[in-house]
Amino acid sequence: MRIFNKQSELNAFLKSISNDKTSIGFVPTMGALHRGHLSLLETALEQNNTAVISIFVNPTQFNNPEDLAKYPRTLDADVEKIKTVSPEIIVYAPTVDDIYEGKTVSQHFDYDGIENQMEGKFRPGHFDGVGTIVKRLFEIVKPTNAYFGEKDFQQLQIVKKLVSKYKIPVNIVGCPIYREANGLAMSSRNERLSAEERKEAAMIYQTILEAKKKFGTKSAAEVTKWVERTFAKQNQFELEYFQIADEATLLPCIRKNKNKNYRIFIAVFVNKIRLIDTISVN
């Protein structure tokens, strides 16, 4: 398996194998890989003749230094998991200096307001960090297609907006959420949960499924109040936000419009470990 730590070496190798028929499928990750990541790689391999995965814990998208420090870093285990998909997959695992070249700061982006909702509201500067690293990785890898999981749906919309506004020549592909057997959305952060917490966290998915049902007959405000009451009864959870939003604009639903597609978004702390989930309600 080819593993590159320097962009110059990755660029040289990709150039050596490229021709007019080469398509590169790219999966950017922060490591601590799980089945959901591997499904993105499988799709990238199906749709392209070369697949690249990046493993890089990006410091500029963390507004909480403790969260950055505790984020799992498991490169050796990640590589073994990638091999189970295909040993031909190219791994780019750079250092901070290789990416930022001594200037570890975010570029500022205007995403037409979608950056101010939900994650952006509770994690100041987060999407500037996301835009900075994604744009940088696209410049380095120059992929044909890039694959992102729908669990981070707001991030997916941000990346699509980034590509459109900066005219970056890459096709963005959103892929379905992978879930554990109990419904919990697969996340690298799940590795920090105890076995009991992992079991209890299934309540997050169960709650948004019930919220989806209620939205069929109740207003978004009524459903939101029900979710807030539900979590208020649970000592082990702290609800950060729950929102039913327009998929296109990410603006909260005030009054239902049959011509719009809506989606539920939620963020919950389980013993200081932050988990997010989302489902379409259409």
Confidence of residue 63 (pLDDT cuts 50, 70, 90): confident
Q: 27-59: per-residue pLDDT in tens? A: 999 999 999 999 999 999 999 999 999 999 999
Closest CA to 147 of 277, 41, 14: 41
Q: 216-249: per-residue pLDDT in tens? A: 999 999 999 999 999 999 999 999 999 999 999 9
Tell me if 135 sits within 8 A of 158, measured CB to CB: no
Torsion 14-175-276-79 (CA) sign: negative
More confident residue, 63 or 222: 222
Tell me if 88 sits within 8 A of 51, measured CB to CB: yes
Longest alpha-carbon distance in the chain: 59
What's the whole-number mean pLDDT along residues 141-165?
Answer: 97
Q: Looking at 34, 37, 108, 126, which residue is catalytic?
A: 37
Confidence of residue 282 (pLDDT cuts 50, 70, 90): confident
CA distances, 70 to each of 100, 121, 135 (Å): 21, 22, 25
Tell me if 118 sits within 8 A of 31, measured CB to CB: no
Q: 181-193: per-residue pLDDT in tens? A: 999 999 999 989 9
pLDDT of amino acid 200: 96
**20 pLDDT more than 90:** no
**266 pLDDT more than 90:** yes
**19 pLDDT more than 90:** no
Tell me if 36 sits within 8 A of 53, measured CB to CB: no
Q: 65-76: per-residue pLDDT in tens? A: 888 998 989 999
Assessment of whether the complete model's pTM goes beyond 0.85: yes
pLDDT of amino acid 212: 98
Torsion 14-159-174-268 (CA) sign: positive
pLDDT of amino acid 80: 98
Catalytic site includes residue 37: yes
Average pLDDT, the chain: 96
CA distance 2 to 98: 18
What's the whole-number mean pLDDT along residues 245-268?
Answer: 96
Portion of the chain with pLDDT greater than 70, in percent: 100
Instruction: Tell me if residue 87 falls in helix, strand or coil.
Output: coil
Instruction: Tell me if residue 27 falls in helix, strand or coil.
Output: strand
CA distance 164 to 279: 25
